[in-house]
Amino acid sequence: MLDTSTGRLRRAASLTLGLAFAAALVGCESAAPLQPRELSTEASQATSVLPADARFVAMMDFKEMAANEMTSPFSNGPFSIDRIDDEAEARVTEFVRVTGFDPEKDLDRVYLAVGSKDRPESVTMVAYADYETDRIAEFIRDNSPSELVESRYRDVLVFTATDGEHEMAFALAGGAMVVGAGSQDGLESAIDRMLDGGNGLETNEMLMPLIRNVAHNSSWMAASSLVGSGDAFGDEDFSAALRDIAIGVEVRSDGIRGSSYLQPVAGVTADDLEAMIKGAVAALKATTVAKDEPDMLKMLDRVDVRARGSAVEVGFSMDNDVLRRIADDI
How many structural domains comprise the chain?
2
Task: Measure the CA–CA gap between 9 and 6, rounded to whole angstroms.
Answer: 5
**Is 210 a domain residue?**
no
**What percentage of the chain has pLDDT greater than the value 70?**
78
**Is 129 a domain residue?**
yes
Burial class (CB in 10 A: 0-12, 13-18, 19+), 212: buried
Tell whether the model's pLDDT for residue 116 goes beyond 50: yes
CATH number at residue 159: 3.40.1000
Least confident of 18-32, 203-217, 297-311: 18-32
Measured between alpha carbons, how far is residue 153 from residues 93, 173, 192, 236 in Å?
Answer: 31, 11, 9, 47
- Picking from 168, 197, 226, the residue at the C-terminal end of a domain is 197
**Is the separation of the CB atoms in 251 and 65 below 8 Å?**
yes
**Is 250 a domain residue?**
yes
**Is 126 a domain residue?**
yes
Q: Looking at the structure, do residues 67 and 33 belong to the same domain, yes or no?
A: no
Binned at pLDDT 50, 70 and 90, residue 180 comes out as very high
| Cα-based angle 74, 78, 79 (whole degrees, multiple of 5) | 50
Least confident of 15-29, 130-144, 166-180: 15-29
Q: Looking at the structure, do residues 124 and 143 belong to the same domain, yes or no?
A: yes
Least confident of 28-37, 124-133, 143-152: 28-37
Least confident of 17-26, 62-71, 180-189, 299-308: 17-26
Question: Average pLDDT of 225-243?
Answer: 59
Q: Looking at the structure, do residues 221 and 284 belong to the same domain, yes or no?
A: yes
Q: Which strands form 107-114's sheet, in the order they lie side by side?
A: 148-153, 156-163, 166-172, 177-181, 123-129, 107-114, 56-61, 219-223, 242-252, 255-264, 311-319, 304-308
Question: Average pLDDT of 17-30?
Answer: 37
Q: Looking at the structure, do residues 30 and 50 belong to the same domain, yes or no?
A: no
Q: Looking at the structure, do residues 48 and 93 belong to the same domain, yes or no?
A: yes
**Is 324 a domain residue?**
yes
- Picking from 147, 170, 197, the residue at the C-terminal end of a domain is 197
pLDDT of residue 289: 61
Q: How many residues does the chain have?
A: 330
Q: Which of 217, 303, 300, 314 is nearest to 264 (CA)?
A: 314
Listed ranges 98-102, 227-231, 284-288, 300-304; the one with the highest mean pLDDT = 98-102
**Is 135 a domain residue?**
yes
Binned at pLDDT 50, 70 and 90, residue 45 comes out as very high
- Picking from 197, 232, 250, the residue at the C-terminal end of a domain is 197
pLDDT of residue 25: 32
Q: What is the pTM of this model?
A: 0.80
Query: What range does the domain containing 47 cover?
Result: 40-197
Q: Looking at the structure, do residues 258 and 156 belong to the same domain, yes or no?
A: no
Question: Average pLDDT of 156-173?
Answer: 90
Q: Looking at the structure, do residues 135 and 55 belong to the same domain, yes or no?
A: yes
Binned at pLDDT 50, 70 and 90, residue 319 comes out as confident
- Beta strand 156-163 with 123-129 is unpaired
What are the phi and psi torsion angles at 25 (to 5°)? -125, 35
The H-or-E segment that residue 306 falls in is strand 304-308
Measured between alpha carbons, how far is residue 171 from residues 34, 92, 238, 294, 310 in Å?
Answer: 37, 20, 40, 48, 42
Q: Looking at the structure, do residues 60 and 177 belong to the same domain, yes or no?
A: yes
Binned at pLDDT 50, 70 and 90, residue 91 comes out as confident
pLDDT of residue 216: 87
The H-or-E segment that residue 42 falls in is helix 41-49
pLDDT of residue 238: 63
Q: Looking at the structure, do residues 23 and 102 belong to the same domain, yes or no?
A: no
Question: Average pLDDT of 38-65?
Answer: 93
Q: Looking at the structure, do residues 84 and 161 belong to the same domain, yes or no?
A: yes
Task: Measure the CA–CA gap between 163 and 160, rounded to whole angstroms.
Answer: 10
Tell whether the model's pLDDT for residue 149 goes beyond 70: yes
The CB-based long-range contact list for 290-299 (8 Å cut-off, 24+ gap) reads 290/8, 290/12, 292/5, 293/5, 293/8, 293/9, 295/9, 295/321, 295/322, 295/325, 296/8, 296/9, 296/12, 298/322, 299/12, 299/13, 299/16
Tell whether the model's pLDDT for residue 88 goes beyond 80: no
* pLDDT greater at residue 154 or residue 121: 154
Q: Looking at the structure, do residues 64 and 19 belong to the same domain, yes or no?
A: no
Binned at pLDDT 50, 70 and 90, residue 166 comes out as confident
Tell whether the model's pLDDT for residue 11 goes beyond 50: no
Tell whether the model's pLDDT for residue 215 goes beyond 80: yes
Tell whether the model's pLDDT for residue 93 goes beyond 80: yes
**Is 230 a domain residue?**
yes
Tell whether the model's pLDDT for residue 187 goes beyond 90: yes
SS (HEC) of 191-231: HHHHHHCCCEHHHCCCHHHHHHHHCCCCEEEEECCCCCCCC
**Is 202 a domain residue?**
no
Quickly count: other Cβ atoms within 10 Å of residue 235's Cβ: 9
Task: Measure the CA–CA gap between 226 and 26, rounded to whole angstroms.
Answer: 13
Q: Looking at the structure, do residues 45 and 108 belong to the same domain, yes or no?
A: yes
